[in-house]
Amino acid sequence: MKRSKKKSAAKGNPRTHSRANPQANPLWGGRFASGPDALMEQVNASIGFDKALATQDLAQSRAHCSMLVKAGILSAKDGHAILKGLAAVEREIAAGAFTFAPALEDIHMHVEARLAELIGEPAGRLHTARSRNDQVATDFRIWVRDAVDRIDAGLSSLQRVLLDRAHEHAETVLPGLTHLQPAQPVTFGHHLLAYFEMFDRDRGRFRDCRARLNESPLGAAALAGTTYPIDRKATAKALGFARPMENSMDAVSARDFALEFLAACSIAAVHLSRLGEELVIWASARFRFVRLSDAFSTGSSIMPQKRNPDAAELLRAKAGPIIGALNSLLVTMKGLPLTYSKDMQEDKVPTFAAAEQLELSLQVMAGMVADLTVNKDAMRAATSEGFLTATDLADWLVQELDMPFREAHGVVGRIVRLAEHKGVGLEQLSLGDLKLVEPRITADAQRALSVENAVARRRSHGGTAPKQVRSALKRARARWKQANKDAKR
């Protein structure tokens, strides 16, 4: 009933149609006596968002046009006129002088309609051996491929910041946590390199996604291929695709490339969110492990003392809509028969938004981590709480007294209880205290109780010892350089 209240819709009677345009659509309206209802036009139009595909659409039209000429399907004269016209359209769009109108539905029809205005009859020949179905699939693949490259660059920059900060803090100790409870001392460099690894795998996921998506749907036409002697390899090559897609029906209906992209975006967003959460915790008054720079903090409008980690919280939050985008497209696709259905027009908004938000998030995270001040004293002080070196004492009992680990675990448990009872840390217990629980303990065991010692001794591959962190850093930097080189190819 709401629609009857609308001025543009019919007054009172919802059955009376209000023509958005009395004329049938000039591009497909041959079998229509009249134009669409205003609401039909509104629900059908995608130009509001797919104008973001303009560059890709123009590149694709140019490749298609040149191929048509080479294949002898289009005259050189018409081909020339079309290419000139497309260049003019491109200039108009770049200059913001192009008129977008919902009546023309989408970017493909906008380009063609304007081309017709500019060059007349030859414009109508561009759509030979092509459909909007293979057009949009091609444009969208190119768009996602470009987004993958931008995101890879963003991930690389963030990794670089993590490498630099990890290098600075290869020896800085802080409590390592499990269950958010004190577990064992670790180095801050080691902690940061954990994120380097996550973002490295993210880059791998985007690389895999890029390799799989980089096949051209162009030439699949509506769904079944075409009767014209087109050269799909040529258009694929011109657009930077590795090869044409094998199956025309798959080519126009596949959106798994976008799903895979959104899955990779979601996982990267989750990694950013986890780091965001750590920054919130580390910057809190209870922890004070880090201080975020003024540039990446906000104040409160009422409480003058406040310094809030808004950016870190927002990166934590942004994982939500990005994961939502993946879900949105999964649900859109799940019931669709082959081949193209208009449902698929709804693939773009979530994909564009997710990519944009992830790109922004990567830049913000790089800025925050580069800028933050590390409070080494607060980190070191925190390691004196929570009996972080209890495992080290158990290891000493195993290594020096040949005690079975399970028994050592029990002995140290009793020692921890004693320390807790006395209200001191393990390293503050006297040798006499320790001997009370296990008479064979010597002064040497007390050395095992220092956090520096505990950290330095964790030299196993992938361990937290500063020595290990330094060699891990070297390997990480080499991998990072190689990945950047590969990305440029």
Instruction: Select from 111-119, 141-149, 213-221, 342-350 the region that touches ligand ARG (CB under 6 A).
Output: 342-350
Of positions 345, 383, 446, 464, contacts ligand ARG by CB under 6 A: 345
Minimum distance from residue 49 beta carbon to ligand ARG (Å):
9
Of positions 344, 393, 394, 473, contacts ligand ARG by CB under 6 A: 344
> Is there binding between residue 41 and ligand ARG (CB under 6 A)?
no
Q: How many CB atoms lie within 10 A of CB 60?
A: 27
Of positions 37, 106, 392, 427, contacts ligand ARG by CB under 6 A: 106
Compare residues 262 and 319 and give the one whose CB is closer to ligand ARG: 262
DSSP conformation class of 384: T
- The residue whose two tokens read 């975020």 is 292
Compare residues 132 and 191 and give the one whose CB is closer to ligand ARG: 132
> Is there binding between residue 46 and ligand ARG (CB under 6 A)?
yes
First to last CA, the chain: 58
Instruction: Select from 278-286, 317-325, 336-344, 385-393 the region that touches ligand ARG (CB under 6 A).
Output: 336-344
Is there a cis peptide before residue 339, judged by omega within 30 degrees of 0?
Answer: yes
Compare residues 25 and 298 and give the one whose CB is closer to ligand ARG: 25
DSSP conformation class of 25: P
Is 300 designated active site? Answer: yes
Minimum distance from residue 53 beta carbon to ligand ARG (Å):
8
Would you state the structure tokens that stand for residue 149, as one six-digit string?
Answer: 């490259």
Return d(Cα 121, Cα 82) in angstroms, integer.
10
Is 75 designated active site? Answer: no
Instruction: Select from 145-153, 229-237, 339-347, 406-414 the region that touches ligand ARG (CB under 6 A).
Output: 339-347
Q: Which of 115, 44, 108 is nearest to 86 (CA)?
A: 115
DSSP conformation class of 284: S
Return d(Cα 459, Cα 472) in angstroms, integer.
11
Compare residues 135 and 172 and give the one whose CB is closer to ligand ARG: 135
- The residue whose two tokens read 């897609």 is 245
Return d(Cα 379, Cα 451) in angstroms, integer.
12
Active-site residue, from 34, 75, 284, 300: 300
Compare residues 109 and 366 and give the one whose CB is closer to ligand ARG: 109
DSSP-assigned letters across all residues of 199-249? HHHHHHHHHHHHHHH-EE-TT-TTTT--SS---HHHHHHHTT-SEE-S-HH
Based on DSSP, count helices (H) and strands (E) in the chain, helices before strands. 20, 6
> Is there binding between residue 132 and ligand ARG (CB under 6 A)?
yes
Minimum distance from residue 113 beta carbon to ligand ARG (Å):
14
Instruction: Select from 113-121, 143-151, 325-333, 341-349 the region that touches ligand ARG (CB under 6 A).
Output: 341-349
Q: Which residues are catalytic?
A: 179, 300
Interface positions with ligand ARG (CB under 6 A): 46, 50, 106, 132-133, 136, 340, 342, 344-345
